[in-house]
Homo-oligomer: A and B are copies of this chain.
């Protein structure tokens, strides 16, 4: 894409109404636009990152047998009353609205009830199970405060999967697969190094649930990390018993601030019983379906990556989620023709390229490029014209090399 066609422009100053690093950087670089506190529009660059994250999550969910669907945002009172989650005294972050012809309706803040209510129509026998269904969806939460930028929104984009199994044992098999799929996702989006499988409080059906916590000073949680085991324990479950359970040396634990970027939970019959979501087992008895839930905040991931992988110059996107693979920068009128040629070559080779074809000074172009954070920068200026080599700079390491176009293409296509 030509940068002259990308309407967003970078800003040197932080927006006055943002305090979180992720929102400041993403706003300055033109990835998001704030509609109101906790509500953001994804501008083209931000949308491209989210699309990449969605693609990765889809691949990993499909690989473990997930089937995608799309539940409605509007949710009915009758459905949520079945689990006693309609009342604002029980769930304090509902957004509710009313139909013109009367009757209250809620905006999805999560999805368990929606799924149980639908599946009730289709599951009747053990032969119908297991099932793993998922959804990407805009979720609404009526938060009192919204101060973490796009990491905690009143409106956000979200993936949730629900698993439906015959029993705990069969559930556990899928739960382990989901755990690994989640680790794959966080590795692929570039957060693997600093993300820990964290033990959190369970429910009636399991001692623990699992969160995926990314170490960050911007985090609202505190976790106790065992570096050697690549595990963490959430603050609220840090007891001698838990430390023993996990076989961790207590002295090794380090307390760190972290952001939760995903969670998986054994629900058991909590959301199946209220809906009579049962199946006939091989002996002919009716048994409640055993459920699990697996959530990831997609727009939160956008925020966390911005927060933890940026430096003083700006954003720095990992290759798999970058809005473009290459930032091609043309300097001066003499370099115009060669730049156009390289742009054509890169595009023809399927390499997503943002082409800075604007009539600006080199310093401004470099500052913009550092702020936007595309992984590889190619500069076409006097040096390239003389040497017939391209100046290739890695955004993360700031390392610069001179490469031929053939060498560069070979590397990018790896």
A347 close to B (CB within 8 Å): no
Q: Is the CB of A138 within 8 A of B73?
A: yes
List B contacts of A40 (CB < 8 A).
Answer: 72
Q: Is the CB of A97 within 8 A of B100?
A: no
Q: Is the CB of B41 within 8 A of A71?
A: yes
List B contacts of A67 (CB < 8 A).
Answer: 1, 5-7, 44
Q: Is the CB of B122 within 8 A of A72?
A: no
Q: Is the CB of B35 within 8 A of A72?
A: yes
A320 to chain B: closest CB distance in Å? 19
- Render A120-162 as a binary contact track against B, CB cut-off 8 A, 1 for contact: 0111000110010100001010111000000000110100000
A205 close to B (CB within 8 Å): no
Q: Is the CB of A47 within 8 A of B74?
A: no
List B contacts of A75 (CB < 8 A).
Answer: 35
A43 close to B (CB within 8 Å): yes
Knowing A7-B122, A97-B95, say if A43 contacts B69 (CB, 8 Å).
yes
Question: Oligomeric state, in number of copies?
Answer: 2
Give A40 to B114 CA distance when docked, in angstroms.
Answer: 11
Q: Is the CB of A65 within 8 A of B97?
A: no
Q: Which residues of A in the span 100-129 have a Cβ within 8 Å of any Cβ on B?
A: 100-101, 105, 107, 114, 118-119, 121-123, 127-128
Q: Is the CB of B74 within 8 A of A39?
A: yes
A142 to chain B: closest CB distance in Å? 5
Give A83 to B39 CA distance when docked, in angstroms.
Answer: 21
A233 close to B (CB within 8 Å): no
**Chain B: which residue is nearest A96 at the CB level?**
B97
Give A36 to B98 CA distance when docked, in angstroms.
Answer: 13
List B contacts of A114 (CB < 8 A).
Answer: 35, 41
List B contacts of A95 (CB < 8 A).
Answer: 97
List B contacts of A8 (CB < 8 A).
Answer: 122
Give A97 to B47 CA distance when docked, in angstroms.
Answer: 26
Q: Is the CB of A99 within 8 A of B142?
A: yes
Interface range, A side: 35 or more
Q: Is the CB of B121 within 8 A of A33?
A: yes
Give A155 to B157 CA distance when docked, in angstroms.
Answer: 17
A76 close to B (CB within 8 Å): yes
List B contacts of A121 (CB < 8 A).
Answer: 33
Q: Which residues of A in the span 13-47 have a Cβ within 8 Å of any Cβ on B?
A: 33, 35-36, 39-44, 46-47
A230 close to B (CB within 8 Å): no
Knowing A99-B142, A100-B142, say if A118 contacts B33 (CB, 8 Å).
yes
A414 close to B (CB within 8 Å): no
A361 close to B (CB within 8 Å): no
Question: What 10 new A-B contacts, CB under 8 Å, besides A7-B128, A39-B74, A70-B157?
Answer: A5-B131, A39-B72, A40-B72, A41-B70, A44-B67, A44-B69, A47-B70, A100-B143, A100-B144, A138-B138
**Residues of chain A having any CB pair with chain B under 8 Å:** 1, 4-9, 33, 35-36, 39-44, 46-47, 50, 65, 67-76, 79, 92-93, 95-97, 99-101, 105, 107, 114, 118-119, 121-123, 127-128, 131, 133, 138, 140, 142-144, 154-155, 157
A-B contact pairs, 17 of them (CB 8 A): A6-B67, A7-B123, A7-B133, A35-B75, A35-B79, A35-B114, A41-B69, A41-B72, A41-B114, A44-B69, A47-B70, A73-B140, A95-B97, A97-B97, A99-B142, A99-B154, A100-B143
